[in-house]
Amino acid sequence: MGFVLLLGGARSGKSDLARRMAVDSGGHVTFIATATPGDEEMADRIARHRAERPEGWSTVEEPIELLRAVCSAPAEDFLVVDCLTLWVSNLLGAGRGGGDVRPLGEAVARELKGRRGVVVSNEVGLGIVPANALAREFRDTLGAMNSVFAARAERAVLLVAGRTLELT
């Protein structure tokens, strides 16, 4: 038992694979969404994601208190956390520094280690060095968070163009 970490770039197939894994789990699913509708395009994106979820899944929309959302889900549920990228962005946007975010992530990863589920996150460290301090802090914080979750995951998978690569 344990969770799977799905990493990849934008539109690489992470959310689709997470949804398939949840359906294939055969159990009840709690979907924990971290996105907030900050603009019309994001609101449309959130609406599309909601529409793609099967009936019967529980959805918890929690942009900040991820640990509380994970802990409140029934222990037997298959959890989908989509996604760490937006959660880290939300925390930094709320004034938390990168050093404040890591212990929060470690607590969530510890809790998830004993649960069945899948966690989605973007891999943002493969590009150029960002030009401003906030973007660099985001990249560094998310990279550290991905490492924390990968260390506690049963499996870590990188998606590129819809294809998977097991990370060992």
CATH number at residue 14: 3.40.50.300
Which residues, 6 or more positions from 53, have their beta carbon under 8 angstroms from its beta carbon?
19, 31, 59
Supply 17's token pair.
Answer: 């694979």
Domain count across the chain: 1
Residue pair 43/37 in contact by the 8 Å Cβ criterion: yes
pTM, entire model: 0.95
Domain of 137 in residue numbering reads as: 3-167
Is residue 4 helix, strand or coil? strand
28 given a catalytic annotation:
no
Catalytic residue among 49, 53, 113, 155: 49
Written as tens digits, the pLDDT of the chain (168 aa) is: 799 999 999 889 999 999 999 999 999 999 999 999 989 999 999 999 899 899 999 999 999 999 999 999 999 999 999 999 999 999 999 999 989 999 999 999 999 999 999 999 999 988 889 999 999 999 999 999 999 999 999 999 999 999 999 999
Tokens of 25: 């789990």
